[in-house]
Amino acid sequence: MVFSKTLTHWYSNNKRDFPWRKTKNPYYIWLSEIILQQTQVKQGLPYYEVFIRTYPTVFDLANASESEILKLWQGLGYYSRARNLHTTAKYIVNKFNGEFPSTYDDLLKLKGVGDYTASAIASICFNENTAVVDGNVYRVLARYFGIETPINSTKGTKEFKKLAQELIDKKNPAEFNQAIMEFGATQCKPKNPDCAACPFNNSCIALQKNMIDKLPVKQKTIKLRKRYFNFLVFISENGNTVLEKRKTKGIWQNLYQFPLIESNKSLNYKELKDIVNAHHVLNGNCFNLFLYNEDDIIHKLSHQHLYTKFWIVEVKTLHENSININDVKDFAVPVLIDNFLKSFNF
DNA sequence: AATTCGGGGCC
DNA sequence: GGCCCAGAATT
């Protein structure tokens, strides 16, 4: 109880001013929570502003096309969030006439809404007594209580959820949940937290044991995959090029890219040209091929490093479902492609 | 239980 | 270069 009291008091004096803190409309809270999953406020905030301006209600979002939503989501990453956002918007409009579910259990059924997000919406919008456990909460609790259970283990997930649920201020779950997250974000930071200025510096176990930089414990380190991408940037005499939609599961699903040849190593000019010829990409049309970037562009994702070459392919004509270069900007593309578009002058 | 989904910021 | 971020879905 002392913990909750101190925490909410700290929050009242230190909370930042964000647009989603001015409302309890579940549509806006839901939108903000999806955008902020695995995303820092600084990165997500501009996207939130654009989304509420473009889609003021869940009906507007449901009526939009997925491609349009993905275009607005471009650059934010984890694109399944945008696809699920659209699915859930349509579901809420069609099944509930636009009215959001109001309990943790019902919110949990929505696509893209897991334990954290269901708890956040239920507590903030409907005052339900259910504790959020995000990366901030793991860190704050692990340090304050000196808990060494790995946070990404089944045991840890249950243990921290139970503890947070015991600590929550039942009189004001919305305030408590946001307070502990804000505390983790700005005070009990991952690196170099200012423990001298912390309201818990006389009771924090990790501080007493000099374990601030060892908690929370996370097991397993992810392994990295290297991939080799060769994008074919076609340019025809009438200013057309070719984009294709990524339909396969994996990264960037439903985003657009230049035709891609993936290889198991970095290709040189001859190797690439042989493949292009062998695949009849151009049906024997003559073409002028050259490499845009001398050194591979290394695009880093969480689990993959993409060693990328952009090959310019000048041709006389292109097939009918090619698009004009000026229209490329209307398609949602990965940051890797977008960076190329910004640097390359068609 | 382990993997896979992005991209930016920080050290 | 490694770790983290208002996590969730899939395997």
A39 Cβ partners below 8 Å, 6+ apart?
A76, A77, A78
Q: Domain of residue A143: give its range.
A: 2-214
pLDDT at A232 over 90: yes
CATH code for the domain in which residue A257 is found = 3.90.79.10
C1' of C9 to CA of A144 (Å): 31
Same structural domain for residues A270 and A201? no
What is the per-residue pLDDT for A2? 87
- Nearest nucleotide (C1') to the CA of residue A119? C6
Q: How big is the CA angle at A18 (ends A122 and A61), to the nearest 5 degrees?
A: 60
**Residue after which a domain boundary falls, among A179, A214, A249:** A214
> Is the CB of A79 less than 7 A from some atom of nucleic acid strand B?
yes
The residue among A217 and A283 whose pLDDT is bigger is A217
C-alpha pair distances (Å), A88 with each of A27, A73, A98, A101? 11, 16, 10, 11
Residue A208 domain-assigned (yes or no): yes
Residue A38 DSSP symbol: T
Query: Which entry of A33, A128, A175, A182 is annotated as an active-site residue?
Result: A33
Same structural domain for residues A183 and A329? no
Same structural domain for residues A10 and A141? yes
Residue A271 domain-assigned (yes or no): yes
In b/e form, how buried is each residue of A331-341, taking b as 16+ CB within 10 angstroms? bbbbebbeebe
Domains in chain A: how many in total? 2
Same structural domain for residues A41 and A175? yes
C1' of B8 to CA of A47 (Å): 14
Same structural domain for residues A189 and A239? no
Same structural domain for residues A241 and A192? no
What is the per-residue pLDDT for A150? 95
Residue A304, strand partner residues: A225
What is the per-residue pLDDT for A284? 61
Quick one: CA torsion of A266, A268, A270, A272, rounded to 10 degrees?
40
C-alpha pair distances (Å), A175 with each of A28, A34, A117, A339? 17, 19, 15, 41
- Considering only CA atoms, which residue is closest to the C1' of nucleotide C2? A221
User: Could you read off the pLDDT of A302-333 as tens digits, one per residue?
Assistant: 999 999 999 999 998 888 789 999 999 999 99
C1' of C10 to CA of A245 (Å): 22
Residue A183 DSSP symbol: H
Same structural domain for residues A308 and A163? no
Closest CA to A237 of A288, A277, A203: A288
Same structural domain for residues A287 and A207? no
Residue A53 domain-assigned (yes or no): yes
Confidence of residue A282 (pLDDT cuts 50, 70, 90): low
Same structural domain for residues A142 and A71? yes
Same structural domain for residues A66 and A137? yes
Same structural domain for residues A183 and A236? no
Confidence of residue A42 (pLDDT cuts 50, 70, 90): very high
Q: Tell me how far apart the alpha carbons of residues A173 and A324 are, in angstroms, rounded to a whole number.
A: 53
User: Could you read off the pLDDT of A158-203 as tens digits, one per residue?
Assistant: 999 999 999 998 999 999 999 999 999 999 999 999 999 999 999 9
pLDDT mean over A52-59 = 98
- The encoded tokens of residue A78 equal 């984890």
